[in-house]
């Protein structure tokens, strides 16, 4: 009788040990999965932050080139193409501000000045006013869907590559584009325009 009890106790202890070991293995597996998901989430957040940062930098680079081309530093890039680039790459925070009443008032005043007081409407304001007007009147298809999809990224990439090609050609070669007066700032600015959509498109593909 004592031997039977001892056998049952030993068996029960073995079963308990097996259950604890199985639970520990499941906990280890769950911890590994949680760690893997956490690493993936951190990586995705890092990539997303990088894309957002490049978006801001590219937008300001495009605005810088737009302002530069409307001053006495006449460059050979096609300024008009910067308008749709800024439209598609402008961060949502700024875009939504100009999409609302602020942009409507700016566009209204610009149109009034241009129609009735053309002498008080300087030439360098034409492109910025056109950008604000485009943001205000653009259909939701472009302002919401195309801007937030890969289509807008592809459009930005095509514009940036074309501007870079034209800038290098007008400078007489890639090396000359960095050696001429104001060439470094222009070239770096246009390269930034290429980097943002290229990076964003890679992330869309991945």
Where are the strands (E) in 59-145, listed by range?
none
C-alpha 57/C-alpha 41 separation (Å) is 24
For 32-83, the pLDDT digits (tens) are 554 444 334 444 454 555 678 888 999 999 988 888 765 544 555 577 889 9
Question: Sorting pLDDT into bands at 50, 70 and 90, what band is 184?
Answer: confident
State residue 186's pLDDT score: 80
C-alpha 76/C-alpha 186 separation (Å) is 10
C-alpha 183/C-alpha 177 separation (Å) is 5
Residues 147, 70, 144, CA angle at the centre, nearest 5°?
Answer: 10
Burial class (CB in 10 A: 0-12, 13-18, 19+), 113: middle
| Residues 128-140, mean pLDDT to the nearest whole number | 92
In this structure, are residues 63 and 98 in contact, taking their beta carbons and an 8 Å threshold?
A: no
Tokens of 19: 């259950």
Tokens of 9: 């106790």
State residue 76's pLDDT score: 52
State residue 75's pLDDT score: 56
Q: What would the 3-class secondary structure string for 35-104 be?
A: HHHHHHHHHHHHHHHHHHHHHHHHHHHHHHHHHHHCCCCCCCCCHHHHHHHHHHHCCHHHHHHHHCHHHH
Helices 82-89 and 2-69 pack at an angle, to 10 degrees, of 150
For 136-172, the pLDDT digits (tens) are 999 999 998 999 889 999 999 999 999 888 888 877 7
Mapping DSSP to helix (H, G, I), strand (E, B) and coil, where does residue 206 land?
coil
State residue 99's pLDDT score: 92
CA 56 from centroid of its chain's CA atoms: 7
Tokens of 40: 């993936």
| Consecutive H or E run containing 131 | helix 126-137
């Amino acid at each position: 009788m004592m031997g039977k009890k001892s056998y049952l106790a030993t068996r029960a202890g073995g079963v308990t040990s097996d259950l604890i070991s199985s639970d520990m293995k499941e906990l280890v597996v769950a911890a590994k999965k949680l760690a893997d998901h956490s690493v993936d989430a951190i990586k995705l957040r890092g990539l997303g932050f990088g894309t957002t940062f490049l978006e801001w930098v590219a937008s300001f680079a495009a605005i810088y080139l737009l302002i530069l081309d409307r001053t006495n530093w006449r460059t050979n890039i096609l300024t008009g193409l910067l308008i749709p680039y800024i439209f598609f790459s402008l961060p949502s925070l700024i875009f939504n501000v100009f999409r609302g009443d602020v942009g409507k008032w700016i566009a209204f005043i610009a149109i009034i000045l241009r129609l009735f007081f053309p002498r008080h409407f300087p030439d360098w304001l034409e492109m910025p006013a056109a950008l604000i007007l485009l943001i205000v009147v653009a259909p939701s298809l472009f302002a919401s869907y195309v801007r937030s999809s890969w289509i807008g990224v592809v459009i930005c990439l095509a514009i940036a590559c074309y501007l870079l090609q034209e800038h290098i050609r007008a400078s007489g070669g890639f090396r000359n584009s960095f050696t001429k007066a104001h060439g470094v700032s222009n070239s770096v600015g246009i390269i930034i325009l290429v980097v943002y959509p290229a990076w964003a498109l890679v992330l869309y593909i991945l």
